[in-house]
Structure 1
Amino acid sequence: MDVDAFVEVHEPTWRRLEALLEQGRPSGADADELVRLYQRTATHLSLLRAENPDPVLVSRLSRLVARARHRLGGVREPAWRELARFVLVSFPVAVYRVRRLVVAIGVLFCLVGAAVAVWVAGDPQVLAALGSEQDARQYVERDFVDYYSQNTAASFAGQVWTNNARIAALCVALGVAGFPVVYLLGANAVGVGQAAGLLFAYDRGDVFFAFILPHGFLELTAIFVAGAAGLRIFWAWVAPGPRTRADALATEGRALFTVAIGLAGVLAVSGVVEGFVTPAPWPTWLRVGVGFGVFCAFVVYVGVLGRRAAAAGETGDLRAGDVGDLAPTRG
């Protein structure tokens, strides 16, 4: 495609559309013309993207088409309704769609962590490679527990939330490559296994579970969900089915990036539990019970609302009117 010639031919159409958008309330004839020019410009944009994706021109026409669509679509729903839809429909259904993969990742994570823990606790050479005897005793007798109370509860909760939200976002954002997600999950499983192995080696396994489980139920589940979303995006690229790879990747990416946004809220709750409940001077059964109760609430939330939204045909993707305008073209 000759971009210069394309622009020369269609520039009057785009300028006229811009002029109509600058007007106030259009007359009946102007409104009809606005619709026609919007449809033509959307087709021009589709053709450019398919044949010669000049970034400057595509950006210009994308903004023009978005302005026209906004004018023709009228006033959007209030922000609180959009937020309510996200909380009650988009996020739970996005998680519900990857539930089986979440369970599979969780099982593999626990198996890898348990294997590493058995290896560390049962092999003196591995234990010695992790540090000196003095360092190991310092960790199991003081550092492991002190980690949860060395800062104020609010500050610690914020630090934990920031770190875990970053990991979850990376799992989703890097999902298209596949391997980074597996690496992040594997590295976390090994880290948990090493900590468990050290404590079990010094007969402090009860301390490990007492301080991991209160927040770990929800925190690790959120990481599993992020990993599942990332791998689902990867699989959409590998096996797109009847769709093109670009369409499959765009559709799954939009739907499952919802997970990264929603998990920020879930991990904020987990951070509060880790900052305020895990180090609390309560009986172990109470701290673990609170953490398990929060985890169960999340499972019920996803199971009930996600199932309902999936039955209604929702996927977590944007609504059809928000995705963009696609006009099929042939070269």
Structure 2
Amino acid sequence: MTGTPSPHTLRSQRFRRERQADWARLERLMDKVEKGSAAQLTDDEILAIPVLYRSTLSALSVARETSLDRGLVEFLETLSARAYFFVYGSRTTLQDRLASFFSNDWPASVRSLWRETLVSGALMLLGAFVAAWLVSIEPDWFYAFVPADLAGGRDPAASTETLRATLDGSEDQPGLSVFAAYLFTHNAQVAILAFALGFSLCVPTALLMLYNGTMLGAFFALFASRGLGVELGGWLLIHGVTELFAVTLAGAAGLKIGWAVAFPADRSRLDAAIAAGRTAAVAMGGVVVMLFVAGLLEGFGRQLIVDTGVRYAVAAFTGLVWTAYFYGPRGRTFRGL
């Protein structure tokens, strides 16, 4: 003999019966989306999903409050979670994300850092001028600015012919690909350090930019004193336009965060740092790409292209490309802050 259903069971059955059609429709749509057929959804179906999702959330809330059967609550929780990722989750593909990054986000973030970029570049130039002046007066200053392992025999003790030989691309290399990988790793470490030090109120980042400039200035003063300044310019700039621009942008990103921490205006320092970090992080993501390109130019192009005029032409071309890419007109703006 079958007993009479309890009021609680009847209430649960009635609750399910009144809304079952909407849940079933939402479940079918989610099955279609999850099987990779989201592109086949009609306009009406796409518009219906948010409505059905909110209706399901409302039903879930009622089911929880009135302690309806646990199986129904779990079903609604699962269905709501599936619909949530469609309504609020990102439906862009990796290809779309990369396209957006390169077409808009990265160049726009660099443009928003123009003040910091000017400061970072000015600090590097200041260091270069000071070091070049000191080395031109006393060559032994070279050793104070350039570590021996970085100099690689290119120091005041080397003969003019030895210095010239290091610029012509004919020096024996154990493997240009290995050399390029080493330079990429080294330059990436410098850029990341300049970015990371920005949290310390800009000062360490500023000092690093100055120091990088002193190494450049010391090298130029040494080679210029031997009548090799023009050749050195081609040797450096074929990769240096990209490499130094990347390091300058990394310094700018660090300065952006450091300035926000030091002068947060009407926000807390943490909130200011987070807001500045959104823009700086996008710029740093692109810096890694630039350093990779610079590593290839330094490890391959500089060794394979030995004509000074061609080196300057490549340097000018890369400068024009980066300038147009970053500062050319864009249809959209980056919302980093």
| TM-score, normalisation: structure 1 | 0.68
Which structure's CA Rg is the greater one?
2
Q: Secondary structure in 1 aligned to 2:158?
A: helix
Q: Secondary structure in 1 aligned to 2:303?
A: coil
Q: Distance in 2 between matches of 1:35 and 1:203?
A: 81
Once the 2 structures are TM-superposed, how far is the Cα of residue 230 of structure 1 from its aligned partner?
0.6
1:92 is aligned, of 92, 101, 107, to 107
Q: Distance in 2 between matches of 1:261 and 1:157?
A: 20
Q: Is the 8 A contact 2:140 2:156 kept in 1?
A: no
Question: 1:252-311 CA deviation, whole Å, 9 max, x = no partner?
Answer: 112211111111111111111112222224421111111220121111011125x5433x
Does residue 122 of structure 1 match 2:142? no
Corresponding residue number in structure 1 for 2:116 = 101
Corresponding residue number in structure 1 for 2:245 = 221
Q: Distance in 2 between matches of 1:74 and 1:288?
A: 48
Corresponding residue number in structure 2 for 1:294 = 318
> Among the aligned pairs, what percent are the same residue?
28
1:175 is aligned, of 198, 206, 229, to 198
Q: Is the 8 A contact 2:253 2:280 kept in 1?
A: yes
2:225 is aligned, of 178, 183, 201, to 201
Q: Distance in 2 between matches of 1:233 and 1:67?
A: 38
Q: CA distance change for structure 1 residues 242 and 143 in 2, over 3 Å: closer, same or farther?
A: same
Q: Distance in 2 between matches of 1:96 and 1:134?
A: 40
Does residue 154 of structure 1 match 2:177? yes
Q: Is the 8 A contact 2:53 2:84 kept in 1?
A: no
Letter in 2 for 1:32: S
Once the 2 structures are TM-superposed, how far is the Cα of residue 27 of structure 1 from its aligned partner?
7.9
Corresponding residue number in structure 1 for 2:283 = 259
Could you list the runs of 5+ residues in structure 2 that have no partner in the other structure?
1-26, 31-51, 63-80
Does residue 137 of structure 1 match 2:149? no
| TM-score, normalisation: structure 2 | 0.67
Larger mean Cα displacement after TM superposition, 122-131 or 153-162: 122-131
Corresponding residue number in structure 1 for 2:127 = 112
Q: Distance in 1 between matches of 2:143 and 2:323?
A: 40
Question: 1:214-254 CA deviation, whole Å, 9 max, x = no partner?
Answer: 11112111111111111011111112223222211111112
Q: CA distance change for structure 1 residues 291 and 149 in 2, over 3 Å: closer, same or farther?
A: farther
Q: Is the 8 A contact 2:156 2:222 kept in 1?
A: no
Corresponding residue number in structure 2 for 1:83 = 98
Superposition RMSD in Å: 3.4
Letter in 2 for 1:135: A
Question: 1:183-241 CA deviation, whole Å, 9 max, x = no partner?
Answer: 22122111112212222233322332121111111211111111111101111111222
Q: Distance in 2 between matches of 1:148 and 1:87?
A: 37
Letter in 1 for 2:248: F
Equivalent pairs, count: 262
Could you list the runs of 5+ residues in structure 1 that have no partner in the other structure?
1-23, 37-65, 318-331
Does residue 32 of structure 1 match 2:58? yes
Corresponding residue number in structure 1 for 2:210 = 186
Q: Is the 8 A contact 1:157 1:275 kept in 2?
A: yes
Letter in 2 for 1:150: Q
Q: Distance in 1 between matches of 2:288 and 2:82?
A: 31
Once the 2 structures are TM-superposed, how far is the Cα of residue 145 of structure 1 from its aligned partner?
6.0
Q: Distance in 1 between matches of 2:328 and 2:113?
A: 15
Q: CA distance change for structure 1 residues 105 and 200 in 2, over 3 Å: closer, same or farther?
A: same
Q: Distance in 1 between matches of 2:318 and 2:226?
A: 31
Q: Is the 8 A contact 1:120 1:194 kept in 2?
A: yes
Q: Distance in 2 between matches of 1:301 and 1:206?
A: 28
Corresponding residue number in structure 2 for 1:315 = 335
Q: Is the 8 A contact 2:169 2:304 kept in 1?
A: no
Q: Is the 8 A contact 1:94 1:258 kept in 2?
A: yes
